[in-house]
């Protein structure tokens, strides 16, 4: 065989090898799972609650099979709506598949959300909501925390008394809906007087400071209705010697531990722990991934997460930080007092543990479990989760407590 023939055959073999290499590379690329570019967009981030929601989402993104298909990036934009708008614009430009977000305003973000939807981006809002109809809203606020807590306070006070209202972050749909629901109840009782209304910004330290100021001005207050930050409210009340009072709050660990304190109970502490489950973020993330991966057919809609409701005599301490047997509060040495306890759900979020919410790590040995096929549609809430819509006649209906005092 001549040298020229050998060279021709070698060249032909090389072409075949190159072709085969390209073939196998293409086949491997086809076998590789699709990576989904997901952005976690947070606005207000100054409390334990927001850190917990981010950690729950991060832990799920690290849990098989999401650990192989999710590219998760977190962006914190602060309380300025324009900053969150700019953040959304950057995410859309980066070809996001999905944006899971706590929106700072129910209306200010609508235009940029609409533009993102037109480019195929899926927007999933958790806890707080927007009125843009192409977004998915997953929230507990339409379940009536504000009005149910208000009615319980009215019941405990016998329909008469001076009260404080500790509100959240101004301008958010959560604060507006809670306040509107509560005032719907309080206005029915002429004997109830709101003597101080202030913003605790969902922070236990700010809430403690503002409540202490209110107590100095109104030492004869009879009860307190509070959004998140209620652990600080309790501290301010407990710092005074003598009589305590009914406090309706959310689910900070320090607040729930207060109902297990014998001294506080003897001094008159009673109330309810409701609202604000960080678990909503995990539920929203799992819904988003089921939609993106084609496992669930779901058009943009408003979805209601169940409202937690734990009365003073229903507090149960978790042993060693393990969430089991219906426990709902952790030992003080395990979490900060401002830690929000509603991080887990046996059906929606069986993958979540205390370490998930504290550290953002996957639970060893777990895999993502499918969500139930059925979802609970949230009622239309004008200015909260829809624009041109009509509120139901029973918008503020009571679901957890009934009046024991006639309006």
Would the pLDDT of 1 be above 60? Answer: no
Q: Please indicate, yes or no, if residue 311 is contained in any of the structural domains.
A: no
Q: Please indicate, yes or no, if residue 116 is contained in any of the structural domains.
A: yes
Q: Tell whether 89 and 213 lie within a shared domain.
A: no
Query: What pLDDT, on the 0 to 100 scale, is given for residue 26?
Result: 47
**pLDDT digit string, tens, across residues 23-70:** 444 444 456 788 999 999 998 777 899 999 999 999 999 999 999 999
Q: Please indicate, yes or no, if residue 15 is contained in any of the structural domains.
A: no
Query: What pLDDT, on the 0 to 100 scale, is given for residue 309?
Result: 97
Q: Compute the average pLDDT of residues 13-17.
A: 43
Q: Please indicate, yes or no, if residue 59 is contained in any of the structural domains.
A: yes
Query: What pLDDT, on the 0 to 100 scale, is given for residue 27?
Result: 45
Over the chain, what is the mean pLDDT?
93
Would the pLDDT of 237 be above 90? Answer: yes
Quick check: 268 and 289 in contact, CB under 8 A? no
Query: What pLDDT, on the 0 to 100 scale, is given for residue 24?
Result: 46
Q: Tell whether 148 and 262 lie within a shared domain.
A: yes
Q: Tell whether 52 and 163 lie within a shared domain.
A: no
Q: Compute the average pLDDT of residues 306-321.
A: 96
**pLDDT digit string, tens, across residues 120-160:** 999 999 999 999 999 999 999 999 999 999 999 999 999 99
**pLDDT digit string, tens, across residues 257-288:** 999 999 999 999 999 999 889 999 999 999 99
Nearest-angstrom CA–CA distance, 190 and 192:
5
Q: Tell whether 103 and 162 lie within a shared domain.
A: no
- For residue 115, what are the domain limits? 36-140+278-306+345-359
Q: Please indicate, yes or no, if residue 1 is contained in any of the structural domains.
A: no
End-to-end CA distance of the chain: 108
Cα 295 to its chain centre, rounded Å, is 23
Would the pLDDT of 15 be above 50? Answer: no
Q: Tell whether 146 and 264 lie within a shared domain.
A: yes
Nearest-angstrom CA–CA distance, 287 and 57:
12
In the block, tokens 């809670």 appear at 178
Q: Tell whether 167 and 255 lie within a shared domain.
A: yes
Q: Please indicate, yes or no, if residue 80 is contained in any of the structural domains.
A: yes
341 falls in which pLDDT band (50, 70, 90)?
A: very high
Number of structural domains in the chain? 2
Q: Compute the average pLDDT of residues 282-296.
A: 98
Q: Please indicate, yes or no, if residue 54 is contained in any of the structural domains.
A: yes
Q: Supply the angle between the helices 110-118 and 81-93 in degrees, to the nearest 10.
A: 10
Which CATH number does the domain housing residue 113 bear? 3.40.50.2300
Copy the structure tokens of residue 34: 């699709």
Query: What pLDDT, on the 0 to 100 scale, is given for residue 47?
Result: 85
Q: Tell whether 155 and 269 lie within a shared domain.
A: yes
In the block, tokens 């008469």 appear at 160
**pLDDT digit string, tens, across residues 188-201:** 999 999 999 999 99
Q: Compute the average pLDDT of residues 107-131.
A: 98
Q: Tell whether 75 and 51 lie within a shared domain.
A: yes
What global pTM score does this model have? 0.90
Q: Tell whether 146 and 266 lie within a shared domain.
A: yes
Q: Tell whether 194 and 134 lie within a shared domain.
A: no
Query: What pLDDT, on the 0 to 100 scale, is given for residue 22?
Result: 52
Query: What pLDDT, on the 0 to 100 scale, is given for residue 44?
Result: 72
Q: Give the residue with greater pLDDT, 166 vs 25.
A: 166
**Residues in the chain, how many?**
407
Q: Tell whether 229 and 268 lie within a shared domain.
A: yes
Q: Tell whether 116 and 74 lie within a shared domain.
A: yes
Burial of 205 by CB count in 10 Å (0-12 exposed, 13-18 middle, 19+ buried)? middle
16 falls in which pLDDT band (50, 70, 90)?
A: very low
Query: What pLDDT, on the 0 to 100 scale, is given for residue 31?
Result: 65
Q: Please indicate, yes or no, if residue 242 is contained in any of the structural domains.
A: yes
**pLDDT digit string, tens, across residues 349-395:** 999 999 999 999 999 999 999 999 999 999 999 999 999 999 999 99
Domain final position from 232, 258, 274: 274
Query: What pLDDT, on the 0 to 100 scale, is given for residue 9?
Result: 53
């Amino acid at each position: 065989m001549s040298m020229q023939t050998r060279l021709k055959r070698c060249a032909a073999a090389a072409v075949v090898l190159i072709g085969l290499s390209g073939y196998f590379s293409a086949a491997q690329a086809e076998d590789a799972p699709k990576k989904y570019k997901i952005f976690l967009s947070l606005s207000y981030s100054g409390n334990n609650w927001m850190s917990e929601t981010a950690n729950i989402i991060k832990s799920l993104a690290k849990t098989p099979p999401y650990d192989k298909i999710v590219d998760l990036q977190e962006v914190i934009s602060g309380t300025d709506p324009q900053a969150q708008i700019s953040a959304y614009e950057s995410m859309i430009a980066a070809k996001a598949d999905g944006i899971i977000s706590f929106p700072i305003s129910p209306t200010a973000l609508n235009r940029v959300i609409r533009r993102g939807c037109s480019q195929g981006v899926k927007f999933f809002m958790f806890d707080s909501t927007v009125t843009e109809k192409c977004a998915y809203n997953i929230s507990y606020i339409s379940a009536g925390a504000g009005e149910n807590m208000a009615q319980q306070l009215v019941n405990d006070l016998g329909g008469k008394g001076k009260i404080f209202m500790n509100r959240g972050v101004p301008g958010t749909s959560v604060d507006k809906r809670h306040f509107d629901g509560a005032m719907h109840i309080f206005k029915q009782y002429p004997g109830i007087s709101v003597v101080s209304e202030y913003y605790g910004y969902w922070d236990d330290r700010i809430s403690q400071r503002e409540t202490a100021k209110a107590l100095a001005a109104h030492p004869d207050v009879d009860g307190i209705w509070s959004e998140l930050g209620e652990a600080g409210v309790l501290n301010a009340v407990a710092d005074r010697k003598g009589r305590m009072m009914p406090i309706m709050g959310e689910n900070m660990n320090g607040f729930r531990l207060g109902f297990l304190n014998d001294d506080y109970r003897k001094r008159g502490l009673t109330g309810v722990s409701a609202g604000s489950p960080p678990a909503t973020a995990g539920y929203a993330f799992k819904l988003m991934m089921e939609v993106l991966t084609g496992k669930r057919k779901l058009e943009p809609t408003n979805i209601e997460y169940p409202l937690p409701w734990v009365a003073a005599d229903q507090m149960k301490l978790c042993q060693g930080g393990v969430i089991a047997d219906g426990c709902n509060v952790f030992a003080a040495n395990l979490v900060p007092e401002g830690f929000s306890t509603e991080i887990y759900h046996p059906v929606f979020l069986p993958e979540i543990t205390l370490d998930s919410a504290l550290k953002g790590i996957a639970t060893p040995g777990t895999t993502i479990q499918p969500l139930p096929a059925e979802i609970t549609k949230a009622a239309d809430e004008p200015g909260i989760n829809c624009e041109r819509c009509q509120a139901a006649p029973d918008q503020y209906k009571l679901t957890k407590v009934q009046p024991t005092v006639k309006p």
